[in-house]
Chains A and B, each alone.
Chain A
Amino acid sequence: MKTLPLGQFVPGDSPVHRLDPRVKILSALLLSIVILNAGLAESIAVTMFLLAAAALSGLSARRITEALQPLVWFFAILFCLHLFFTDGRPIFPALPAVTYEGLERGLSVTWQFVSLVVSAAILTMTTAPSELVGGLEKLLRPFNRFGVPSYDIAIMVSVSLRFVPTLLEEVERMKEAQEARGADFASGSLVRRLKKMATLVIPLVLCTFRRADELALAMEGRGYHRGPRTYLRELKFTRIDYAALFAVMAFLVGVEALRFLPV
């Protein structure tokens, strides 16, 4: 079965799994603001926070590094760019491009991206996609009156997620059908292989439109209409959710306050 590997939901029953998705979404959002403004002390605090969250979520270190793996090259390039292209005091007299300031910027920016990915991974690995969509919908609901169609956005997102595996299967089928007639997707240069892939794109787009057409009919047949609807699970904050949200906010405000401490 083909699925997207990045940050895929890992079913479980940890305290982090059980939190209301809105708590997790808001925490990840607030955390990213702190991460993007972090200095050294904040970085250490946020790293400890992420480690604690990962430990509480019962996700193995391997799972989390797996989420980072596809981005390793991106991190490496990011680090090198900063290392070589930042002005400042050279570390090695023979290599004037590599500076202390570059090293510091490189480490800091790479850390920022790694932390963002890790916090997003903890969010998506501990929250079922449907819960994530439900949480998002409920967070957006107050903005209905300003013209944000929260219900329609939620349906769009959830239908897209629902069809990802179906479409991947379809691509696989088309590939096999073409290979059976002598197409060769495996050899040749990267450019050549990409060009060959174009023969998959057109039928895939056509098929997807046909699917969308039928899906629209089926949805209409089941009473779909724009605007308010109800759900199997109506999300509800428990005392633990309030406590967790409060704790996260208090912690992050505390971290931000570090900045103003005279050190």
Chain B
Amino acid sequence: MIEARGLIYRYDPDDAPVLEQVSLEIPEGQYVAIIGPNGCGKTTLVKHFNALLVPQEGEVLVDGLSTKDPKAHREIRRRVGMVFQNPDNQIVGMSVEEDVAFGPGNLGLAPAEIRGRVGVALETVGMLRLAKRAPHSLSGGEKRLVAIAGVLAMRPAYVVLDEPTSYLDPAGRERVLNVLGDLRQEGISVIHVSHSMDEIVDADRVVVMSEGRVLRDGPPRDVFREADVLRAVGLNTPQVTELMWRLRAHGCGVRQDVLSVEEAFQEISALIATGTGCRR
């Protein structure tokens, strides 16, 4: 479990805090989406999860280890893998497989063990075929997958991803999201920072951040029902939820908490079948 308790952080002592009293618990195995407008403190928050930032007030515990203890940093970083926004700036190796081997090498594992882990990690993200390639010759989506594999080779219990689908084409985005689904299947916690509401509707839980605080925290259905709350802080809802909202505003009897195209289809076809139509 990752626990943040009363977390306060400011980059500059004179500025307003970026994080103001954030408390959050993320149990092992949960798929958590963190959303919020730019500058709301999402990235700052997740950097606390693997001790890249240390709380100025409050504390962060990873499986009981406090990030304030420098001696625990190595173990915390092994347990909590972090995939940053720009894959170009986190690929260290001169080839795909060597990059994935970087983390295990830092752990001092034997070459045979490293080879095994590199194989499994590349298999998981579907990049085994490109193991020998140079990083700069890969597409954006492939680089992102290599960055994820590099983290997986550490056998983390939690993987934090900061906007893992930004700048990707639809195919690349699909591949990354599928890999995140696979991680979830394997029981790894995924902490997914996102700007796209549509890609997080399947999360176990959505945390909405605004101005350094947790604004809402709950299952996607509950969070997205409150479209007005989200809109007030500059966020939107998944497109189908938006559609339902508009239909209701039009006087149609559809559910508000619809998240998938499938559900929306059922609602609308029921509307047509019963012929009730909309009052207006």
Q: Which residues of A contact B (CB under 8 A)?
A: 1, 128-130, 133, 155, 158-159, 161-162, 165-166, 169, 211, 214-215, 217-225, 228-234
Contacts and interface: CB of A to CB of B under 8 A. Distances in A.
A21 to B, nearest CB: 13
Interface stretch (B56-64, B93-101, B167-175, B230-238): B93-101
22 contacts: A1-B136, A130-B98, A133-B94, A165-B134, A169-B136, A214-B90, A218-B90, A222-B77, A222-B81, A222-B102, A222-B103, A222-B150, A222-B151, A223-B74, A223-B78, A224-B106, A228-B108, A230-B110, A230-B114, A231-B101, A231-B114, A232-B105
A178 B106 CA distance: 41
Q: Secondary structure at chain A's binding surface: helix, strand, loop or mixed? A: helix
Contact of A225 (B74, B89, B110, B114): B74
B115 A218 contact: no
Contact of A229 (B82, B97, B108, B134): B108
Contact of B82 (A155, A158, A221): A221
B94 A214 contact: no
A214 B91 CA distance: 11
B94 A222 contact: no
Contacts of B137: 1
Given A130-B95, A221-B50, A231 B88 contact: no
Contacts of B136: 1, 165-166, 169
Nearest to A231: B105
Nearest to B135: A162
Interface of B: 50, 52, 74, 77-78, 81-82, 84, 86, 88-95, 97-98, 101-111, 114-115, 118, 134-137, 150-151, 154
A214 B162 CA distance: 13
Given A223-B103, A231-B114, A232-B114, A162 B84 contact: no
Contact of A217 (B84, B97, B98, B101): B84
A84 to B, nearest CB: 45
The 4 closest A-B pairs by CB, nearest first: A218-B90, A223-B106, A232-B101, A214-B89
Contact of A129 (B82, B94, B97): B94
Nearest to A1: B137
Contact of B77 (A214, A215, A220, A233): A220
Nearest to B134: A165
Contacts of A159: 92
Given A155-B92, A218-B82, 9 more contacts: A162-B94, A162-B135, A165-B134, A219-B92, A222-B106, A229-B105, A231-B105, A232-B98, A232-B115
Contacts of A222: 77, 81, 90, 92, 102-103, 106, 150-151, 154
Given A229-B108, A232-B111, A158 B52 contact: no
Contact of B89 (A133, A165, A215): A215
A130 B84 CA distance: 24
B52 A217 contact: yes
A221 B89 contact: no
A223 B89 contact: no
A33 B267 CA distance: 82
A162 B92 contact: yes
Contacts of A161: 94
A232 B92 CA distance: 14
Nearest to B118: A232
Contacts of B118: 232
Contacts of A232: 97-98, 101, 105, 111, 114-115, 118
Given A1-B137, A161-B94, A232-B97, A218 B89 contact: yes
B77 A221 contact: yes
Contact of A230 (B95, B97, B111): B111
* Residue among A162, A217, A222, A233 with max Cβ neighbours from chain B (10 Å): A222
Contacts of A217: 52, 84
A238 to B, nearest CB: 16
Contacts of B77: 220-223
Contacts of A220: 52, 77
